[in-house]
Amino acid sequence: MFQSFKVTARPEQGPPRLAALREVLAAEGLDGFLVPRADAHQGEYVSAHDERLAWLTGFTGSAGFCAVLTGIAGVFIDGRYRTQVKSQVATEFTPVPWPEVSLGAWLAEQLPDGGTVGFDPWLHTPGQLETLERALKGRGIDMRACENMADRVWDDQPAPPRAPVRVHPMEFAGESHGSKRARLSEDLRDAGHRAAVITLPDSICWLLNIRGSDIPRNPIAQGFAVLHDNGHVALFMAAEKLDGLTGHFGPEVSVQNPDAFENFVAGLDGPVRLDKGTVPVAVSDILGDRVVWGDEPCALPKARKNEAEIAGAAAAHLRDGAAVVELLAWLDAQPAGSLTETQVVSRLEALRRNDNALQDISFETIAGTGPHGAIMHYRVTEETDATLEDGHLLVLDSGGQYLDGTTDVTRTIAIGDVPEEARAAFTRVLQGMIAMSRLRWPQGLAGRDIEAIGRMPLWLSGQDFDHGLGHGVGAYLSVHEGPQRLSRINHVPIEAGMILSNEPGYYREGAFGIRIENLIVAQDAPELPGGDAHRNMLDWRTLTWVPVDRRLVVREMLSTDERDWLNTYHAAVAEKIGPRVSPDAKTWLDAATAPL
């Protein structure tokens, strides 16, 4: 199994750590302090050095934060983690449903007489701070930028990562970093901006055609960068990480020590573009009135995959699909009650390692059986490892980081005879996945405009799920990549070349979970017969080729079009994956992809 890098707290460790933090706050005259799951680079993923939220509370989800006050410590979590948080945090921490309950409203309720709440300005964005201060206006609560109080009491905090950086080859990148710098700097000039500050690690890696391993499961390198309007880039990254890369960068990329970043930014001529949603507050404070707000310059270009990146993703998914099919064939041959979750995880990761292009898994594999399947981002441990029993559903969500692409696939698998209500719910989830896969839509629509398509079959039965329908995916980069998402709160128009997941689900706490996920890439839709379309349309090309468990499908619930889609998909799976698997897996695959 790949090495795990999680920092966490056992439930009994949380209270003394919380008490130590409160002592520091009292000594500093603070009534509270915010502990987000964030680092100075403002990416979704953090290194062990920055796992402050997990260290303090024990909560290991990928999103959330803790507001520590004198008498209460609220752990803010969204719908994905409301089951998980109950088992991870001590009773001294109070789970808070977020965003239904905003931080501003909660602070105002907990500090009715006002007070001072500290925050690390490197771990929060201007957008976050503005929203909070608007909510607190007139409440007598002051937000104070200060040093990180959690770090003051974290005695054994791991060192910042220093993993080596490597070149991402042109055959996979599809465009030189010189070309990327030139076209992005032209956008700066057109807007009248002298420079842009880039703090997101995946943006820096994409821009300069490099990859790293500072963050578990994500081939990124932490650093800061400034893109100038003449195409030059100042890169602030530890020199020991960049050995041998001088020739790759060339004279238009200057490398400096990260300690020089603040002084360099202070000396920039304005206007300097900052993205209010990704840059740390500390950077905007340094620049003051030289700031002009705008989109992070790499975000959309990175999301619009070029031909080489799409071809790489397609190739990676074929090899990855073969590994998953081998796993499913093996799993189906084991009697109910004979396997545990960890055995499934280990077997799947071993099968993926047979591909020499695999660099890592793309996230910690989720293998949740029975009630564990209802924990959306469940991570099996030695303490929670459960047996796959007759009547269970197994949610298996996994992926790989290959040199040519990033994969993410979820299948829900029947273990023995499952209840009819679970089969009905599974079929509704499948109907939602098919509906999104078949969709054609006018150019200019965003995720919020179309994601309900994938929920409608569930809604018609009074069911729903508490995560987005889909997220963006990088090109051998982060498995979660913005700015596009299939989400009711996402306003970024979907464009040709964007890769997203399509993953409706359904979760019944204490009983079972269901999720079906394919990756799909947006493309210009072909003209319909007759050629009388009056606006440009987009549709999806499927990248993932893994069978859907036919045993869980209630055939009578599917329309003719839905059955045709599934049968056509399964025929393509058999054709594309069959030649890539062992004889035993091929026999299993032929049965698994037989027409309904």
pTM: 0.94
**Residue 157 tokens, joined:** 């905090």
* Residue ranges of the chain whose pLDDT lies below 50: 1-5
Supply the pLDDT for residue 8. Answer: 64
Q: In what order do the strands lie in the sheet with 499-502?
A: 440-442, 537-542, 518-524, 499-502, 470-472, 481-486
Q: Is the separation of the CB atoms in 384 and 422 below 8 Å?
A: no
- Listed in sequence order, the residues at least 6 apart from 536 whose beta carbon sits closer than 8 Å to its beta carbon are 442, 443, 524
**Residue 319 tokens, joined:** 């090899």
Beta-bridge partner residues of 119: 145
For 98, half-sphere exposure in the C-beta direction (CA atoms, 13 angstrom radius) is: 19
**Residue 392 tokens, joined:** 């269970």
* Residue 531 per-residue DSSP state: -
Supply the pLDDT for residue 14. Answer: 83
Supply the pLDDT for residue 312. Answer: 98
Indicate the helix (H) or strand (E) that contains 541: strand 537-542
Beta-bridge partner residues of 414: 393
**CA-CA distance, 209 to 191, in Å (whole number)?**
25
**Residue 94: strand, helix, or coil:** strand
Query: What's the distance, CA 530 to chain centroid?
Result: 41
Q: What angle do CA 80, 466, 13 make, to 5 degrees?
A: 20
Supply the pLDDT for residue 2. Answer: 40
All domains in the chain, ordered by first residue: 14-153 (3.40.350.10), 166-298 (3.40.350.10), 304-590 (3.90.230.10)
**Residue 147 tokens, joined:** 């040093």
**CA-CA distance, 536 to 498, in Å (whole number)?**
17
**CA-CA distance, 507 to 501, in Å (whole number)?**
18
Beta-bridge partner residues of 392: 415
pLDDT in tens, 232-288: 999 999 999 999 999 999 999 999 999 999 999 999 999 999 999 999 999 999 999
**Residue 113: strand, helix, or coil:** coil
